[in-house]
Structure 1
Amino acid sequence: MTTTVPALPAGLVERPLTMADARAVYEVMAADQLDQIGMIEIEEADIVGDWGRPSFDVEAQTLGVFDSDRMVGYAEVTYADRGDAAVHPAYRGRGIGTRLAHWMQETARARGARLVGMPVPEGSAGDRLLEALGYHVRHTSWVLKLPAGAEIVRRDLPEGYAVREARPEEWPAAHDVVEDAFLEWSVRERESYDDFVASIQGRPGFEPWNLRVVLDPEGVVVGVSYVVIAETDDGRDAEAYISRLAVRRDQRNRGLAQALMVDSFAVAREHGALVSGLSTDSRTGALDLYKKVGMEVTSVWLSRAIDLV
């Protein structure tokens, strides 16, 4: 199936991006999120870390829209069937979002994908646009925060288990735990170990304590948490964010995930974070777990996708 990709409005130009454009992408995404949900949930380091994966070809998988030298919109196909996009609020209503959506479809189709989608805040301009373009909802996601000053109650581990910073030789096992857990409900290709390492170590500000593990009595990695501290430039408190949290299937229902979570938040607080956050979605069934430790939903996102065949 082929589609006609809408042209850009007069006066705007587009081009593939490079790593040097990461800051401009962040600024567009931050402006879009601040306007849509009243807060910024992206950091420039997130973009640099994602784009630094060996499997990601920045120039082939991104597109920027510019008004003179100013970036006003961007899109990327991050994986075969998933991407992201944003348009600066001052430039909405000019067809830029539609143009970017069609570019994402064509790029994903050329890479062999059968569908492509992206997350959008529920009820936002992006949500309404994708719905109008025929995108369906794949799942719902929630961003949750543990407010500043909230008590972090440590969860005792079962006898013989321990939680600590991952050692270098434990990284391959940590990768396996994360991918095995995520692929139980996520329909995608398995992330390579090289991409896993690059997205973590290549993220600006990385420190070894960011990757946490739970070890069973035999010293085997059975749980993993990856927590970072978001460096804010909009006056917000520094925030700890868990971007990956996983426990091996046969080790669940023992309190390991909760122990990892409170450990990650506590260690991040020791490193200056005042607020703690993470996200989960309707495929995991973990929302109630996070609410039990005092976390509050701050925004709701929909993963919308469209069939390409």
Structure 2
Amino acid sequence: MSTRAATLPEGLTTRPLRRSDAGAVHRLMVAQELEDIGQVAIEEADIVSDWARPSHDLAARSVGVLDGDTLVAYAELTGADRADTAVLPSHRGRGIGTWLARWLVDLGRDLGSPAVGMPVPQGSPGDRLLESLGFRVRWTSWVLRLPEGATVPARPLPEGYVVRTAAAGEVRAAHDVLEDAFLEWSVREREPFEDFEAATTGRPGFEPWNLRVALDPDGTVVGVSLVLVSDEGTTAYVDRLAVRRDQRRRGIAQALLVDSFARGREHGTRTFELGTDSRTGALPMYERVGMAVEQVWVNRAIDLR
């Protein structure tokens, strides 16, 4: 598979993306999500903070497809194998998605990536296209929602433990807990702390209360929850949640969930969401506390080695 054997429709042009394109990419992704899943999941702050990561070379790892001055599609490769793409629904069926997939494969090969993969809503046009191009399902992801008005059953913390807002000096420890936990099942390089800062304290709209930590009696960070609020202010979304391996099965994760949703409610949110995937084995835990699957996504990838 190679872009060298494919061309874009006449009249379309391409160029690398720039940070000033964040708003245009957000509008493009919003149009695609509304078409495919009937709601908007992406926030412009997600794009801005992702592009602010020191490790991400946006100019070398992205391409925008333009019809005149209008961005109608884009693709980028973040990290070794994670890609994101979108095509304006009005421009589908013209071969743009196929061209983007081939562009990503070429870039991945040039960079020595073991594979290139991306998340797509299960059964969506993007899912069907990638399947036709030979992309396999690596894992399945779920977005779960707590029904409006419901609460997660409280579970007391072990004696001497507390959950609170992370202090400035605890951000690095929070990052260590998250990365140690995520790397138990995620095959990737360890996230640099500076990238984590861009996604948390450097994220547009971030407030200190968004980063929650669980501390043991010695004041050591043993659990973390990053809870974000949607642009319209109605939904609290737990973006990351982890507990140190030796502290699990003690109710700490559930206590962090209760705290995260309570803090979100204090800040005006009415609904609560989080995401998990088949690599973690955590889906049954979230279902047991009353959360229900609202969206199903698959990560489709093609091996390059």
TM over 0.5: yes
1:153 deviates by 3.6
With the length of structure 2 as denominator, give the TM-score of the two structures: 0.97
Q: Report Cα offsets for 1:147-196 as digits up to 9, x if no partner.
A: 32223443211111100000111111111100000000000000011111
**Which residue of the partner structure matches residue 207 of structure 1?**
207
Report the residue type matching 2:157 in the other structure. L
What is the distance in 1 between the residues matched to 2:111 and 2:294? 35
**Which residue of the partner structure matches residue 140 of structure 2?**
140
Structure 2 SS opposite 1:201: coil
Report the residue type matching 1:241 in the other structure. Y
**Which residue of the partner structure matches residue 245 of structure 2?**
249
Q: Which runs of 5+ in 1 are unaligned?
A: none
Checking the alignment, whether the CA contact within 8 Å between 2:120 and 2:300 is kept in structure 1 is yes
Report the residue type matching 2:145 in the other structure. K
Q: What number of residue pairs does the alignment pair up?
A: 305
**Which residue of the partner structure matches residue 13 of structure 1?**
13
What is the distance in 1 between the residues matched to 2:259 and 2:131? 40
Checking the alignment, whether the CA contact within 8 Å between 2:2 and 2:102 is kept in structure 1 is no
Report the residue type matching 1:190 in the other structure. R
Matched, 1:303 2:299: yes
Checking the alignment, whether the CA contact within 8 Å between 1:145 and 1:276 is kept in structure 2 is yes
What is the distance in 1 between the residues matched to 2:217 and 2:148? 34
Q: Report Cα offsets for 1:129-158 as digits up to 9, x if no partner.
A: 000000011000000111322234432111
1:4 deviates by 2.8
Matched, 1:220 2:216: no
Alignment of 1:67-78 (within 5 A): 67-78=67-78
What is the distance in 2 between the residues matched to 1:80 and 1:151? 38
Structure 1 SS opposite 2:4: coil
What is the distance in 2 between the residues matched to 1:144 and 1:275? 11
**Which residue of the partner structure matches residue 286 of structure 2?**
290
Q: Report Cα offsets for 1:59-99 as digits up to 9, x if no partner.
A: 11111111111111111101111111011111111011011
Cα 1:2/1:62, change in 2 over 3 Å: closer
Report the residue type matching 2:304 in the other structure. L
Between 277-286 and 148-157, the greater mean CA deviation after superposition: 148-157
Residue 278 of structure 1 is aligned with which of 251, 274, 286?
A: 274
**Which residue of the partner structure matches residue 267 of structure 1?**
263
Between 147-156 and 127-136, the greater mean CA deviation after superposition: 147-156
User: Percent same amino acid among aligned pairs?
Assistant: 61
**Which residue of the partner structure matches residue 53 of structure 1?**
53
1:238 deviates by 1.6
Checking the alignment, whether the CA contact within 8 Å between 1:76 and 1:83 is kept in structure 2 is yes
**Which residue of the partner structure matches residue 116 of structure 2?**
116
Between 134-143 and 30-39, the greater mean CA deviation after superposition: 30-39
**Which residue of the partner structure matches residue 258 of structure 1?**
254
Checking the alignment, whether the CA contact within 8 Å between 2:61 and 2:76 is kept in structure 1 is yes
What is the distance in 1 between the residues matched to 2:260 and 2:125? 34
Give the superposed CA RMSD.
1.3
**Which residue of the partner structure matches residue 34 of structure 2?**
34
**Which residue of the partner structure matches residue 230 of structure 1?**
230
Report the residue type matching 1:71 in the other structure. L
Alignment of 1:120-199 (within 5 A): 120-199=120-199
What is the distance in 2 between the residues matched to 1:185 and 1:15? 35
With the length of structure 1 as denominator, give the TM-score of the two structures: 0.96
1:117 deviates by 0.2
Report the residue type matching 2:158 in the other structure. P
